[in-house]
Structure 1
Amino acid sequence: MSQNAQYGADKDGRWKGMVDVIRDVGPDLLALQEVDWLRHWWKRRKAERALGMRIVVAPSRQLNVAVAWNPKALRHLDTDTRYSKTDMHHGHCAPRFQPLALERELPKPLVFASTHLTPYSVEAAAQEAQLLCARLYRYGGLGLGVGDINHVPLGDDEPDWTKVQAHNWASRCLRRRTAADPWRGHRLVGEVLRDGDLTDVCSHVAQRMGDFSLRQLTGKAGLIRTDQAHVTPALVPAIQNNYRRIDPGPHTDHWGIAFSLDLDSVDTSLAPDYA
């Protein structure tokens, strides 16, 4: 599961409502964005008790990202946050795990990266996406990049840009030759992720099931599917047909997303040998 908590959720009580939603879903892995208060160890411990999960938080210049996991399902090996604070606006948190109770132990660690690409420039976000690709492949090629990608995915319909705030025209759209030209989404971040040989889980399931309603928006204000999950080739055979949006009610300005992987179906022959 992934959920952007929207800044200030710890101060106005919204986090408590989100915890209830998350517990109803019951994910084994949870990517969180805009959870800066969790950098304090005592607040992190309180959140762990509320969720019934363990949590690791990445350093960040702006609004920390985090990953929570079910310790009964996954053994935590280590966490990669390299370049998170120095080279990314919000950062990435990429713990590595060995899943428990599989028919066969994975020969390489499972990397689950929570990330939040910069909303202010598609070109800058594309550079962050390039960095994310490298971190997902760094430990053997079993990687998931999950979170608030912030830019228009490949294959999704254009939103009604007239209903979107003007600053999003500047950051998410192609440049116009004249003021009379229509706005069109800039798909550069999606192109980078595709060229990193990553698969968009939502798009993959929608295509396989013939249900393109799955490509619904997740950003309530920006009107695009900002929240996304992308996996490396070895994990594509493990994608199950249950991708869905999670309704957070009034507790945040982003819908959550959730999906399942059958990790016994991981094809490690598709994982690269290079690091």
Structure 2
Amino acid sequence: MIRVANLNAYKLHPRDVATQGWEARVTAIREVGPDVLCLQEVLVDEDAPEDASEDGIVDEAKRLRRWDSQAAAVIARLAQDCGLSATTIRPGDSAGPVAMARNAHRPWYTAVLWNPTTVTPVPGGFRPYGSPDYWHGCTTIQLDIGAQSPLLVVSYHGDPFRPDFRANEARRLKGAFRRTGGAKPGIVLGDFNSISAATVTVDRVERLYDEEPYRDQDHDDLEYQCVPETIGDTNLADRRPTAMLLRRGFMVDAAAHVGAPWQPTVGHWADGQGDPDPWGRRRIDLAMATRPVAPALVGYRTHRSPAAEAASDHLLVVVDIDPSRIHYEAEGGLTVRKFMTPGRQWGRPDGPDEDWIRPHVLWLPQDQPQVCAYFAKLREITSQYPDVISSIAEEDLHMTFQKINPQVAAGSRVDDAMLKAAAVAVQRELEALEPFTVEIGPARASGSAGIVEIWPEQGPAELYQRVRAGLTTAGLGLPPAEEFFWCHMSCGYGVQDTDTPKLAARSDRLASDLGRRVRPGIRTSATISSVWLAWERQVPDRNTYTFERVHQLHLGQSRQPQPATPNGADTYATEK
């Protein structure tokens, strides 16, 4: 087991060495006993007399050397006092610099430390980043933790004042972890200065892991944390940075992923003890692991002790990783993982049958021969890899526009009467949206499925928003809205984790075949003129979804006249 921890050390300065505050930091770190420690907020004086020549002109190169020398000394001393190391190894196996990084314009540092008896730095695996990529420095290093391949560890400190810049930093972070067709085994820990977008399922309802912390606040600093158009109203947290990392399962939030009880990482210092804090209790110190590492996350907690509370205005975050469970990924390729994992399943084998059924809004292509023919070609490919992916039958093809929570706010289960009312509300929203044409394809292997892209995005995105508006009007509960609706279809679902070299090679071959063997004709076109309110059933033993059509809802003027029901209320097509 490898323990990875994070600490924003609150303005750790050379003058703090051997003080009471220093001892609190050392004690808190030793209490945790990390194998890897990510550190933020080490700083030195920006200006010093020795930076200038005799005529008073500042030698910029000399000043930067002083910054680095003083910061390295503090980090190395902290590592020594905690039984850790921060000395990197160069490609020729000689000792390298301290694993730290800074912004080019301010001497604020991040760093990575490790236990040299359990973890070894990979020669040449250290790379520091500064501006323009990050407002604070960002430290990255490859560490050998006993897994099949090195773990990329990143210590990150988000821009405190600019939500847009934090979103761009997250995009750059994602770039550090990506590889062609997938993600490197890695984890980023740090003070993100923002709230996570991770969700959890509670009582079969998906909700945000971190509730909205700013809803009842009113002060001058909300611009630094909230979605601009919500300031002074709902004060919604700007969650774009982590939403970008979490999208399509590229990363997971360790706390939400392991189901740890929610705990704040800041808010325990009163004003006057550090910087004024108008924000209250929040969780902004995060641990985000890539797809290959997600199955290896076995523990998460926030470390709270007298020493930890005295050490910093941020508490230590602690993550336990089992290196043997980190997935193998073929170099340059993508390993497909099991799709229908326990965490994704709606019900339990010993639970009620109704738990496996949930309401959805779907587009169904079975009446468009060209779409069915296109997916038949994809099935010819996926059927040759039954050890990697299960094919989706023609009758089960669908595009999901909206999941609907199986229960309403009052706790009662959604029933046919509620869907009928929702159908009326959604139909009203769709009358102003005319049918549109999309291109379907190309197909590609994704993390746990065969994905088929949809383009252009504008029509599906507007349809998504109108469907949500109608369902909300009808009082149905919905998962949090996607910032950018990801419109796609699937041609197959992963049957197992391809985490051996043989299976990974098969997965890599599948990805190649999906990319080239469907040619010519890597795309087809379709007209979206209606969607269905449907009962969708998850079928784990078949690794698929089936559905029962309930209400057909038409876009714009494409709606055909329907015979009225006895009460004359229904004006949409209905099928049972």
For Structure 1 versus Structure 2, the TM-score category normalised by the shorter chain is 0.7 to 0.9
Q: In structure 2, what is the equivalent of residue 216 of structure 1?
A: 263
Q: In structure 1, what is the equivalent of residue 328 of structure 2?
A: 268
CA contact (8 A) 2:101 2:128 kept: no
CA contact (8 A) 1:176 1:182 kept: no
Residue-by-residue CA offset, 1:13-61 (whole Å, 9 max, x unaligned): 3232111110111000000000125942433332222011112211324
- Whether 1:43 and 2:71 are equivalent positions in the alignment is no
Which structure features the higher share of strand residues? Answer: 2
Q: For 1:124, what is the secondary structure of its paired residue? A: helix
- From the superposition, tell whether residues 273 and 161 of structure 1 become closer, same or farther in structure 2 (CA, over 3 Å): same
Larger Rg: 2
Q: In structure 2, what is the equivalent of residue 84 of structure 1?
A: 130
Residue-by-residue CA offset, 1:222-250 (whole Å, 9 max, x unaligned): 3321100111111111010x210012112
Equivalent residues in 2 for 1:103-252 (5 A)? 106=148, 108-137=149-178, 141-154=184-197, 155=208, 156-163=210-217, 166-167=220-221, 169-176=222-229, 179=232, 181-195=233-247, 197-206=250-259, 214-220=261-267, 221=277, 222=279, 223-240=281-298, 242-247=299-304, 248-252=308-312
Q: For 1:94, what is the secondary structure of its paired residue? A: strand
> Within 2, Cα distance between the matches of 1:24 and 1:121?
34
- From the superposition, tell whether residues 268 and 177 of structure 1 become closer, same or farther in structure 2 (CA, over 3 Å): closer
Once the two structures are TM-superposed, the CA of residue 136 in structure 1 deviates from its matched residue by 2.2
> Within 1, Cα distance between the matches of 2:318 and 2:11?
21
Q: How many residue pairs align between the two structures? A: 260
Unaligned 5+ segments in structure 2 are 45-66, 87-98, 198-207, 268-276, 335-576
Q: For 1:11, what is the secondary structure of its paired residue? A: helix
- Whether 1:3 and 2:7 are equivalent positions in the alignment is yes
CA contact (8 A) 1:79 1:93 kept: no
> Within 2, Cα distance between the matches of 1:82 and 1:250?
29
| Structure with higher RCO (Cα < 8 A, 6+ apart) | 1
Unaligned 5+ segments in structure 1 are none
Once the two structures are TM-superposed, the CA of residue 269 in structure 1 deviates from its matched residue by 3.5
CA contact (8 A) 1:118 1:125 kept: yes
Q: In structure 1, what is the equivalent of residue 25 of structure 2?
A: 18
Structure 2 letter corresponding to 1:31: C
Q: For 1:86, what is the secondary structure of its paired residue? A: coil
Once the two structures are TM-superposed, the CA of residue 113 in structure 1 deviates from its matched residue by 0.4
- From the superposition, tell whether residues 164 and 68 of structure 1 become closer, same or farther in structure 2 (CA, over 3 Å): farther
Once the two structures are TM-superposed, the CA of residue 174 in structure 1 deviates from its matched residue by 1.2
Once the two structures are TM-superposed, the CA of residue 273 in structure 1 deviates from its matched residue by 3.1
Structure 2 letter corresponding to 1:59: R
> Within 2, Cα distance between the matches of 1:178 and 1:36?
32
Structure 2 letter corresponding to 1:176: E
RMSD (Å), alpha carbons: 2.5
CA contact (8 A) 1:136 1:145 kept: no
Once the two structures are TM-superposed, the CA of residue 8 in structure 1 deviates from its matched residue by 4.2
- Whether 1:33 and 2:40 are equivalent positions in the alignment is yes
Q: For 2:320, what is the secondary structure of its paired residue? A: coil
Q: In structure 1, what is the equivalent of residue 115 of structure 2?
A: 70
Q: In structure 1, what is the equivalent of residue 140 of structure 2?
A: 94
> Within 2, Cα distance between the matches of 1:138 and 1:269?
10
> Within 2, Cα distance between the matches of 1:272 and 1:239?
24
Residue-by-residue CA offset, 1:82-107 (whole Å, 9 max, x unaligned): 542432101210111112xx4xx52x
Which structure features the higher share of helix residues? Answer: 1
CA contact (8 A) 1:59 1:81 kept: no
- From the superposition, tell whether residues 36 and 164 of structure 1 become closer, same or farther in structure 2 (CA, over 3 Å): farther
Structure 1 letter corresponding to 2:8: N
Residue-by-residue CA offset, 1:131-181 (whole Å, 9 max, x unaligned): 1111123597011011111111112101144457531x10110123684x2
- From the superposition, tell whether residues 170 and 271 of structure 1 become closer, same or farther in structure 2 (CA, over 3 Å): farther
Q: For 2:227, what is the secondary structure of its paired residue? A: coil
Comparing 145-154 with 72-81, which one deviates more in the overlay? 72-81
> Within 2, Cα distance between the matches of 1:178 and 1:131?
27
- From the superposition, tell whether residues 250 and 165 of structure 1 become closer, same or farther in structure 2 (CA, over 3 Å): farther
Residue-by-residue CA offset, 1:250-269 (whole Å, 9 max, x unaligned): 22111110010000111114
CA contact (8 A) 2:252 2:291 kept: yes
Q: For 1:219, what is the secondary structure of its paired residue? A: coil
CA contact (8 A) 1:111 1:144 kept: yes
Once the two structures are TM-superposed, the CA of residue 127 in structure 1 deviates from its matched residue by 0.5
Comparing 70-79 with 138-147, which one deviates more in the overlay? 138-147
> Within 1, Cα distance between the matches of 2:245 and 2:171?
7
